[in-house]
A and B are shown apart, each in its own frame.
Chain A
Amino acid sequence: MGVATEGISMTANLAEDKQNETSAEAERDLDLSPAKGLFCGEIIQSCFWPFPEITNEQKEMLGMVLDSVDRFLEDKQENFRQWDEAGEQPEEFIQGLRDLGLFGLIIPEEHGGIGLSNTGYSRVLQQSSRYDSSVSLTIGAHSSIGMKGLLLFGTDAQKERYLPRLASGEMIAAYCLTESGSGSDAASIRTRATRNSNGGWTLNGEKIWITNGGIADFYTVFARTDSDAGKLSAFIVERDSPGVNIGLKEDKLGIRSSSTTTVSFADVEIPAENLLGEEGKGFKIAMAILNSGRTGLSGGAVGGMKTCIALASKQAVERKQFGSSIAEFGLIKKKIAEMTVDCFAAESAVRMVSHYIDSGYTDYSVEAAISKVFASEAMFRAANESLQIAAGNGFMKEFPYERIMRDSRILTIFEGTSEILRLFIALSGMKYAGVLLQELKSATDDIFNNPIKGFGLLSDYAGRRITHLTSLGQDRIIAAVPEILRDDALVFEKYTLELARMTDVLLRRHGKSIIEKQFALQRAADVVIDLFVGLSVLSRVSAMTPDDSEQYQQALSIAHIFSQRAKRRMNRNLRAMLRNEDEAAKSLAEYIFDKQSYPWDVL
């Protein structure tokens, strides 16, 4: 069982059984990354089809959890507005979250939690986000990132010690990585932990913008161990350790009632047993936590979109101008349709990724990043467009639109900015494809000498790649898709090959310096985002029972709208990789950096 699902998954046992009972084949499947596969020109059908379903028992349980969440939050709309203004959630409310059990969502039952799977957890955050993002953040920063390291990497003794208190909410958790000099470049942190004479560690440094900073008692802290250039390590730090100081709460644009503070450490003594995971593995731990936590944030974004759709469609139907409801106007219909397609698409992709995590996939970081970028940007579009539909009303504090828009702005910034994640998506995919190309080259050379040995040395992908290059492969056609979606599936089959071809071209042209070609990387990322999200949509619609209900027919329509629009976007992105104004744009930016003002001012 990979670390990624240890102890957090209702389906972990299932996955484990599956893994035990089967052969190396199943194991190999769990090592595949469907998104990286796309860079190699392959849609790994078994990773996308059939669309993941949870069991009836899980549905029943999740239904009960969601009911409780609804009941707890539904009558607090006015409070959320006030707390946004005040910039704080009152203690009684946080106590309410504890009493309900919302801090134990992903903690195993034996430690006092309810052991939700990643899918279940993401769905719960979706529900709470329909009401208020700050609430989701208080719960989410605790579970998705604050104590996730303990679940993933903690020793039994550490788990025994902390999980029960974290499950009850007696201890709330926070994740402390960012510093004033270290944001996206997380590896550059300066907080230091040095070994002390007690056999433990002494911690010094300051973390900023820590969610739950002011209400947490359990901090997962990343620090450089031993030397300034030393590697990172992760530690569990308790709030009442002498030397831990919490700053004032930040005054923010959005998610205002969520606690954001600095957390600083002045000669804080950490016992040796509070090292989390292996010494020197801190960076890996930090990234593993973020990867497995992304479905929480993305689930939240989906929930927010559902609220936008409900609010804006009601507003559109009720508002009359020019003698008719504004819902009659094409430009309003366009907005509602786009929000709905976006929401369905994000929901499908997020469900797919949480299924990977629950099933024990070991390499899902690119897929998780894709779902985060897509869902967070779609959420902001939905917030912006629903405000535009409500227009003047939307601008007024009396209505929820402006708060939703302010709240959703953070989503593309924290837990990895959209820029960083796009670079990560593209580079990971290209690196993978590049290694394969190398492997492929030496393997094909080998074939001439010793074909059997040559093939034997190939990794799975490279093997398939050979088939593809020699035009023998038939598996480029998605067989699992029903006839009615065939034309839409064709889009993804075609552009997956186009992406692989473009990857070859770029790698050949730029080699390692592809890292500096950010414009191209962004385009490659956008293509693969469209592919991954679109395939998730197709898979989901394939799983629906065909009938003549309007709900099914409209779902087909969503698949069609997404596919055709994705096709145009991908086409544009791919063409722009070869012909573009990138150099001119860069040079213009450099000119402006030099001036640091707009040079064409006129009177």
Chain B
Amino acid sequence: MERVLVGLKRVVDYNVRVRIRSDGSGVETDGVKMSINPFDEIALEEALRMKERGEANEVVVVSIGGSECQQQLRTGLAMGADRAILVETAESVNPLTGARIFLELIKREAAELVLLGKQAIDDDNNQTGQMLAALWGRPQATFASRIELNGSTAKVTREVDVGLETIEVDLPAVITTDLRLNEPRYVKLPDIMKAKKKPLDQIPVADLAVESAASITAVTFEPPEQRQKGIIVKDVAELVAALKDKGLV
């Protein structure tokens, strides 16, 4: 396989306790640690392993967003990706627009495999991969916990509610990754220096001439209600009484 495309979305780091901006316009990102979406990092790790096994020649990482996304792309390059593409836009990108952008890049890059995280931990949409496969007219294998390439097909084990399902898809295809697929490597420090010299192309989103999907307007953001203080009950009788008291049983 010549080329694998991997999506890397810039999100608030999973360790950060997310806060809502005081005006309710969104999540606070100022001075907050940003990272690669963890599922995307798993996708990149898988692509790098394919390359190391000789199953892929080139791994290209892609991010869509402002110039600050370069930081995540550089991390991807330091992990071992060969090239990076930043599709620059100041707008927030919904899954359908994202899928359309990826489709354009697939054409430009003649990619044979697209690896995406199953969802991003910011909006939890879980849509981009599926939409991309449909637009591209190629198979999709979502929630992968194991991927095995066999020439022109990929055998993918998926985590589903009742257990594991193994399917085989023809390539080119879109595969989205689940948590247990692999454990991403951490970046070695000398590779950070090497990554500086790897190509990072910036393409203004307008150059791709994709139609922006009718976007959803976020009306307001609110933090979840604070958990009420609990009480300790002595026994079942007291528990039942307490529940009755609150009108819950």
Chain A positions within 8 Å of B, measured between CB atoms, are: 60-61, 63-65, 67-68, 71-72, 99-102, 104-105, 109, 112-115
Contacts and interface: CB of A to CB of B under 8 A. Distances in A.
Contacts of A114: 189-190, 192-193
Interface string B181-202: 0000011111111001000000
A102 B189 contact: yes
B189 A105 contact: yes
Interface residues of B, number: 15
B186 A68 contact: yes
Interface string B146-162: 00000000000000000
Contacts of B187: 64, 67-68
Given A99-B188, A101-B188, A64 B75 contact: yes
Given A61-B196, A67-B35, 16 more contacts: A60-B71, A63-B71, A64-B74, A64-B187, A64-B192, A68-B186, A68-B192, A99-B188, A100-B186, A100-B189, A101-B188, A102-B189, A105-B189, A113-B190, A114-B190, A114-B193
A77 to B, nearest CB: 15
A304 B187 CA distance: 24
B174 interface: no
A71 B191 CA distance: 16
24 contacts: A60-B71, A61-B192, A61-B196, A63-B71, A64-B74, A64-B78, A65-B189, A67-B75, A68-B186, A68-B188, A68-B192, A71-B186, A100-B186, A100-B189, A101-B188, A101-B189, A101-B190, A101-B191, A102-B189, A104-B189, A104-B190, A105-B189, A109-B193, A115-B193
B201 to A, nearest CB: 18
B138 to A, nearest CB: 34
Nearest to A124: B189
CB-based closest 7 A-B pairs? A101-B189, A71-B186, A68-B187, A68-B186, A101-B190, A114-B189, A64-B192
Which applies to chain A's interface (DSSP): helix, strand, loop or mixed? helix
B38 to A, nearest CB: 12
B10 to A, nearest CB: 12
Contacts of B191: 101
Contacts of A105: 189
A114 B191 CA distance: 9
A393 to B, nearest CB: 22
Contacts of B71: 60, 63-64
Nearest to A98: B188
A123 B188 CA distance: 17
A87 B188 CA distance: 27
A67 B78 CA distance: 12
Contact of B186 (A60, A67, A113): A67
B187 to A, nearest CB: 5
Contact of B189 (A60, A68, A71): A68
A313 to B, nearest CB: 14
A61 B193 CA distance: 8
Contacts of B186: 67-68, 71-72, 100
Contacts of A101: 188-191
Contacts of A115: 193
B31 to A, nearest CB: 8
B190 A112 contact: yes
Interface in B200-225: none
A112 B189 CA distance: 10
A61 B78 CA distance: 10
Interface in B47-88: 70-71, 74-75, 78
Contacts of A64: 71, 74-75, 78, 187, 192
